[in-house]
Amino acid sequence: MLAKELGAFGVVGAVCFALDIVLFQVLYTYAGADAVLSKLLATLVSMTVAYVGHRYWSFSHRARTGVRREYLLFVVINGATLLLGLLIIFVVRHPLQQESALVLQIANIASIGVGTVIRYLSYRRWVFPAVGPTDAAAERTHLATTTGATRRPVAETGR
């Protein structure tokens, strides 16, 4: 199950990584937007795509705690990693006075790497938590009363 989760997280992450990189490059280099604004807009778009991918694929086997709760935590975690990314871009662009698109893109990629580790660990822990023992028992009881049979949850069977 962990391999499936990591694999799906990686695919969603790769798509969102490419989306973030391309949007940042287009906005900064071709549209003439400020580097920090480019990072903000690129991250907001890729974050929205990531939420959908992670909720319905990467962590689809985990407990559902409600879209509002999940999305709020998702936004908070992504907001924190976005601020980290913006800070990195800001420091490279302004105090270090780097204007090169290549240098800023390298800083962007570094910020995405750090943010990815933080996001994965946070999603597993808080946004899409594992089915706990009480959740699994409640699910078995619910299934038994609605279908007349008991079924072990996916988290317990390993499938």
Average pLDDT over residues 117-142: 73
Q: Give the angle 72-76-77 at the CA atoms, nearest 5°.
A: 120
d(CA 39, CA 21): 9
Residue 138 domain-assigned? no
Residue 121 domain-assigned? yes
Average pLDDT over residues 63-82: 88
Give residue-wise pLDDT tens across range 106-128.
999 999 888 989 998 999 899 98
pTM of the predicted model as reported, rounded to 2 decimal places = 0.63
pLDDT given at position 143: 44
Residue 159 domain-assigned? no
- DSSP codes joined into one string, 12-71: HHHHHHHHHHHHHHIIIIIS---HHHHHHHHHHHHHHHHHHHIIIIITTTSPP--HHHHH
d(CA 157, CA 103): 48
Give residue-wise pLDDT tens across range 17-47.
899 999 999 999 999 999 999 988 998 899 8
Pick 149 or 117 by higher pLDDT: 117
pLDDT given at position 132: 63
Q: Above 50 in pLDDT, residue 142?
A: no
Contact (Cβ atoms closer than 8 angstroms) between residue 63 and residue 128 = yes
Range of the domain at 120: 2-128
Q: Above 50 in pLDDT, residue 157?
A: no
Structural domains of the chain, count? 1
Q: What tokens appear for 136 in the block?
A: 């699994």
Residue 158 domain-assigned? no
Residue 61 domain-assigned? yes
pLDDT given at position 97: 95
Residue 22 domain-assigned? yes
Residue 154 domain-assigned? no
Average pLDDT over residues 2-6: 85
Residue 17 domain-assigned? yes
